[in-house]
């Protein structure tokens, strides 16, 4: 007799990681594949930051820190908000987490109950939906479009059948790379406060913008929760370290959850994170390369037949509506993988329309992006002949 498993753990497979596993197996077998599927920088944290952290390893026992993180790191993050955004954040409202995903889970656990509804614009990062389901909450997807920049608007929020308990925004967005303007962000935070909606702002890609700078939700809301990470702009993906900025009444709840669920964030990763702020010149050079890569893709992909591209303002993703090319994005991506380029079908990001969309990451080297575009052009010539 089998023993029952929990229904809340029966969440969808994270297809991006499945694709990455397939790609890695092919590469290990000798295949030449360019990665446009993985949402991570192709370079690591500045070496100077890691060298300083290594000195700390030699002279400091790597024991537990406080459950909410090293006080020095929290103070440094607070200073970062002052320097970058002119926003005053109290270090006591900052919790260091085991990556941004942990920050999402802790934020949801502290503020939502089983059965609560949480809205988000689709396409959206699939972990939002999956974590909520695992916690017994109900995701409510807003079908956003290219015309509204794949972001929620006051009009779409007002059109919801009922007021949700929470709203998640990605600014900049994974998977679309779009940003919410300062004016629109202020409108959204005002709407949430007026209607008693908890706003969860995924700000992991702030720092990676190519025009208008993203504003933080902390400027216009005292009730919103900002989730952030060292994985993207700070290029510390594998170190699994992030942070959340919380309203006063949420801090103690999250602290208690941290103590029992995680004990403490990784000590070594916190030391690297503390020093990485001293090398934003290196990090900004990464952003300059992402911008160059974006310009190449914006020029070359339309030549290959990709005519419905997201208006990328930040992060390192481009989202393409390929409904005029195929109705099966997964088959399209499998074919392209045989052509030497890996990208992600939109089925992870949009349950209703993902079979007609793909996500491409341009976080790799500029040489790889140029070659990827060449291979995509070659593939599309064959695809168009087959589809004719």
What are 313-358's pLDDT values in tens digits?
A: 999 999 999 999 999 999 999 899 999 999 999 998 999 999 999 9
Q: How far is 280 from 257, CA to CA, in rounded Å?
A: 32
C-alpha of 216 from chain center: 15
Q: Indicate whether 177 pLDDT > 60.
A: yes
Residue 386 is predicted with a pLDDT of: 64
Boundary-marking domain end, from 223, 252, 279: 279
Nearest to 217 by CA among 81, 364, 334, 382: 81
Specify whether 301 is located in the same domain as 271: no
Specify whether 150 is located in the same domain as 190: yes
Q: Indicate whether 171 pLDDT > 90.
A: yes
Specify whether 107 is located in the same domain as 174: yes
Tokens 């962000």 sit at which residue? Answer: 185
**What does each C-alpha distance from 323 to 143, 305, 306, 307 come to in angstroms?**
16, 11, 10, 10
Specify whether 245 is located in the same domain as 325: no
Other Cβ atoms within 10 Å of 155 Cβ, number: 8
Specify whether 274 is located in the same domain as 305: no
In a domain, 10, yes or no: no
Boundary-marking domain end, from 279, 310, 326: 279
Phi first, then psi: give them for residue 250, nearest 5 degrees: -100, -20
Q: Indicate whether 235 pLDDT > 70.
A: yes
In a domain, 6, yes or no: no
Specify whether 194 is located in the same domain as 208: yes
Token couple for 115: 């059965």
What are 121-169's pLDDT values in tens digits?
A: 999 999 999 999 999 999 999 999 999 999 999 999 999 999 999 999 9
Specify whether 173 is located in the same domain as 76: yes
Which pTM value belongs to this model? Answer: 0.95
Q: What is the CATH number of the domain that holds 34?
A: 3.40.640.10
Nearest to 311 by CA among 170, 183, 148: 148
Q: State the pLDDT confidence band at 385, using cuts at 50, 70 and 90.
A: low
What are 263-310's pLDDT values in tens digits?
A: 999 999 999 999 999 999 999 999 999 999 999 999 999 999 999 999
Boundary-marking domain end, from 263, 279, 295: 279
Domain span at residue 371 reads 15-44+281-383
Specify whether 137 is located in the same domain as 245: yes
In a domain, 5, yes or no: no
What are 105-126's pLDDT values in tens digits?
A: 999 999 999 999 999 999 999 9
Residue 54 is predicted with a pLDDT of: 84
Split into its structural domains, the chain has a count of 2
Specify whether 255 is located in the same domain as 228: yes
List, as own/partner pairs, every contact residues 372-376 make where C-beta atoms lie below 8 angstroms and the sequence separation is at least 24, other chains included.
372/34, 372/36, 372/341, 373/296, 373/297, 373/300, 373/301, 373/304, 375/34, 375/339, 375/340, 375/341, 376/300, 376/301, 376/304, 376/336, 376/339, 376/341
Q: Which residues pair with 318 in a beta bridge?
A: 360
């Amino acid at each position: 007799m089998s023993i029952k498993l929990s229904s809340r753990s029966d969440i969808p497979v994270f297809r991006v990681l499945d694709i990455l596993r397939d790609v890695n197996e092919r590469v290990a077998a000798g295949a030449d594949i360019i990665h446009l599927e993985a949402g991570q920088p192709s370079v690591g944290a500045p070496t100077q930051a890691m060298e300083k952290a290594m000195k700390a390893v030699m002279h400091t026992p790597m024991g537990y820190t406080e459950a909410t993180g090293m006080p020095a790191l929290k103070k440094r993050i607070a200073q970062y908000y002052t320097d970058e955004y002119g926003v005053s954040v109290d270090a006591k409202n900052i919790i260091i987490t085991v990556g941004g995903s942990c920050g999402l889970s802790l934020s949801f656990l502290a503020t939502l109950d089983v059965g609560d509804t949480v809205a988000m614009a689709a396409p959206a990062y699939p972990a939002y939906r999956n974590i909520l389901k695992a916690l017994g909450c109900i995701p409510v997807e807003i079908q956003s479009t290219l015309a509204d920049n794949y972001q929620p608007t006051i009009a779409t929020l007002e059109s919801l059948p009922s007021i949700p308990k929470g709203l998640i925004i990605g600014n900049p967005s994974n998977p679309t790379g779009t940003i919410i303007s300062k004016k629109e962000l202020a409108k959204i935070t005002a709407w949430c406060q007026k209607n008693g909606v908890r706003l969860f702002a995924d700000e992991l890609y702030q720092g990676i913008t190519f025009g208008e700078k993203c504003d933080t939700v902390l400027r216009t809301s005292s009730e919103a929760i900002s989730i952030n990470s060292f994985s993207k702009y700070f290029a510390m993906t594998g170190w699994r370290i992030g942070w959340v900025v919380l309203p006063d009444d949420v801090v103690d709840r999250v602290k208690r959850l941290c103590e029992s669920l995680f004990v403490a964030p990784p000590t070594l990763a916190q030391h690297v994170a503390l020093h990485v702020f001293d090398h934003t010149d290196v990090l900004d050079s990464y952003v300059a390369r992402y911008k160059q890569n974006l310009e190449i893709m914006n020029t070359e992909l339309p030549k290959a037949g990709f005519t419905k591209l997201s208006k990328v303002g930040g992060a390192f993703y481009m989202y393409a509506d390929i409904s005029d090319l195929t109705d099966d994005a997964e088959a399209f991506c499998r074919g392209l993988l045989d052509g030497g380029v890996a990208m992600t079908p939109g089925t992870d990001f949009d349950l209703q329309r993902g079979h007609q969309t793909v996500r491409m990451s341009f976080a790799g080297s500029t040489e790889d992006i140029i070659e990827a575009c060449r291979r995509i052009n070659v593939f599309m010539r064959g695809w168009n002949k087959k589809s004719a």
